[in-house]
Amino acid sequence: MFDAVIVGSGPNGLAAGVTLAAAGLRVHVIEGAATPGGGCRTEELTLAGFRHDVCSAAHPLALASPFFQRFGLAARGVRFAHPEVVLAHPLDGGRAAVVARSVTDTAARLGGDAAAYRRLMRPLADGGGALAEAILSSMRRPPRPSAALAAYGRDGLRSAAAVARRFATEEARGLFAGVAAHAMLPLDASPTAGVGLLLTSLAHTVGWPVVEGGSARLAEAMIEAIVTAGGQVETGNWVRSLADLPNAPATLLDVSPRSFVALAGGALPARYRDALARFRYGAGICKADFALSGPVPWRNEATRRAGTVHLGGGFEEIAAAEAAVARGEHPDSPYVLVVQAGVADPTRAPRGRHTLWTYCHVPAGSAVDMTARIEAQIERFAPGFRDLVLARRTRTAAEEEAQNPNYVGGDIACGMQTVRQVLARPAARWNPYRTPLRGVYLCSSATPPGPGVHGRCGELAALTALRDVFGVRHPPDLGALHPRPAAGSPSSR
């Protein structure tokens, strides 16, 4: 009945489904959770009328992604809402480093570090498209040379601590620490500078928007395309073994390497199975969502207009918190990521109300509730915050994994972002999407180019399956999906 079965309906599983459907194949997506979308879901986690993003919230990589650009989100009714201020990093005393879309405007607020910031970020921002295309690739072939890629190559494999030495002010150093800490690694580890440089450059080239109505709109657009093409998305069916899947020429797995080993049972060759067993997972997260009676009362006025806010103080304080997590400790003053979607998208809450999305890093598998420590960090820079809280919902790292087995130990990146695991992910193979099992492919963010809502892992895995199984050697037109006959009628490839 179907040409391809996909296990997992996260952004990559759905991107694989879209790619295969665009090639004329009938696709069956199987999702264990009651709601499809994986990290791209939006739910009323606290109170009725308050819509919270379950995982991903700000989407620079979606806008930069070659997959989503070809898919054509705007034509499918997906709208991105851009905050007036892309990113803010508050400091004590009401100060804050602020990232605007303009490199010049951002640098102008960094005082003595203005020139250093322009030298570092201007080449990356000017060539942001080429840089994103190179990084969001399979990393199997050398990228096309560009000035932006050359600039990125000079610092991308270094640590954030090394690059931050170029700055003298607490504002610039803290700002870079906050962005680099998205790597979920100690800031003296490589390649934390690369993560910081990429995400900061995207702030200038495409912004860090939220999706109007919630991140679920991304998943819904892809599901609609798959179903329109004659495919099917099934929910509430946890797959326990590959043997339980419907027969199909191709099977694509949007799962972690650990889950793949469990699904395959004893079918995997020992060498490959051992390589997957050596795959390293990173820190977990403790996520807290809030329903608020009003906007967060940040001391710094610009922070009130920012879509994303990084909390944790200066570089040294954030570095200490991330190092503590790597040692298996729970920092008293954690690094906290905050998204206040309502500054750009008022549809997320009833009129005059707001949602607040937050998480902090914790040791893998932690069952510790960090809500009080997250609130303390917010209150530090926004006195009176606790008085606005109408309801809260917290999920520990252990609970994150229980809800989504791909988040091993609460690791939402599906694997540590070390240099080795960026270049050889999840195992050292020429084609990381192809597995030793005939017709079985891995398409999760445990494959290149890694974590983030960009769909490229799924697209690249699907292109491999199209070549191997169906003899399709040219990428299909993602924007030309048309209705297909119902499943069960003769396939036309």
390 and 338 belong to one structural domain:
yes
Are 358 and 374 in contact by the 8 Å Cβ rule? The answer is yes
**Chain centroid, CA 27 distance in Å:** 24
**pLDDT digit of tens for each residue in the chain (493 aa)?**
899 999 999 999 999 999 999 999 999 999 999 999 999 999 999 999 999 999 999 999 999 999 999 999 999 999 999 999 999 999 999 999 999 999 999 999 999 999 999 999 999 999 888 899 999 998 788 888 888 999 999 999 999 999 999 999 999 999 999 999 999 999 999 999 999 999 999 999 999 999 999 999 999 999 999 999 999 999 999 999 999 999 999 999 999 999 999 999 999 999 999 999 999 999 999 999 999 999 999 999 999 999 999 999 999 999 999 999 999 999 999 999 999 999 999 999 999 999 999 999 999 999 999 999 999 999 999 999 999 999 999 999 999 999 999 999 999 999 999 999 988 899 999 999 999 999 999 999 999 999 999 999 999 999 999 999 999 999 999 988 754 444 443 333 3
Last residue within a domain, chosen from 383, 403, 423: 403
| Same-domain pairing of 197 and 223 | no
Domain containing 184 equals 80-209+283-403
Of the residues 377, 403, 429, which one is the last residue of a structural domain?
403
Four-CA torsion 193, 11, 285, 184, nearest 10 degrees: -10
CB 386 within 8 A of CB 421: no
Flag whether 197 is in a domain.
yes
DSSP H/E element including 196: helix 192-205
Same domain, 316 and 381: yes
Task: Output the pLDDT for position 207.
Answer: 97
pLDDT score for 218: 98
On the 0-12 / 13-18 / 19+ scale of CB atoms within 10 A, 114 is middle
Residue 398 domain-assigned (yes or no)? yes
Dihedrals phi, psi of 339, to nearest 5 degrees? -125, 125
**Domain identity same for 188 and 298:** yes
- Contact between 315 and 187 under an 8 Å Cβ cutoff? The reply is yes
Structural tokens at position 357 = 């999305």
Given this model, what pLDDT does residue 482 score? 53
Residue 73 lies in a domain: no
Which amino acid, one-letter code, is at 442? Answer: L
Tokens of 56: 């991903």
User: Is there a single domain that holds both residue 205 and residue 221?
Assistant: no
- Residue from 231, 225, 229 nearest 1 by CA: 231
Domain identity same for 303 and 339: yes
Strand, helix or coil at 169? coil
Residues sharing a CB contact under 8 Å with residue 42, sequence separation 6 or more, in sequence order? 51, 52, 53, 54, 213, 214, 215, 216, 217
- Residue 87 falls inside a structural domain: yes
Residue 162: which CATH number? 3.90.660
Which of 5, 18, 47, 34 has its CA nearest to residue 348? Answer: 47
Whether residue 435 is contained in a domain is answered as yes
Whole-structure pTM value = 0.94
Q: What are φ and ψ of residue 136, in 5° steps?
A: -90, 55
Which of these three, 350, 370, 403, is where a domain ends? 403
How are strands ordered across the β-sheet holding 27-30?
Answer: 232-234, 27-30, 4-7, 250-253, 440-442
CATH number for the domain spanning 453: value is: 3.50.50.60
Residue 52 domain-assigned?
Answer: no
Q: 192 and 316 share a domain?
A: yes
One domain, residues 292 and 306? yes
Distance CA 116, CA 167 (A): 7
Do residues 339 and 224 both lie within one domain? Answer: no
pLDDT for position 484: 47
User: pLDDT value at position 472?
Assistant: 96
* Same domain assignment for residues 452 and 436: yes
Q: In terms of domains, do 376 and 355 share one?
A: yes
Q: Are residues 22 and 133 in the same domain?
A: no
In a domain, 61, yes or no: no
Question: Which contiguous run of DSSP H or E holds residue 42?
Answer: strand 42-43
Q: Dihedral sign, CA of 260, 265, 266, 267?
A: negative
Domain count, the chain: 2
Residue 370 resides in a domain: yes
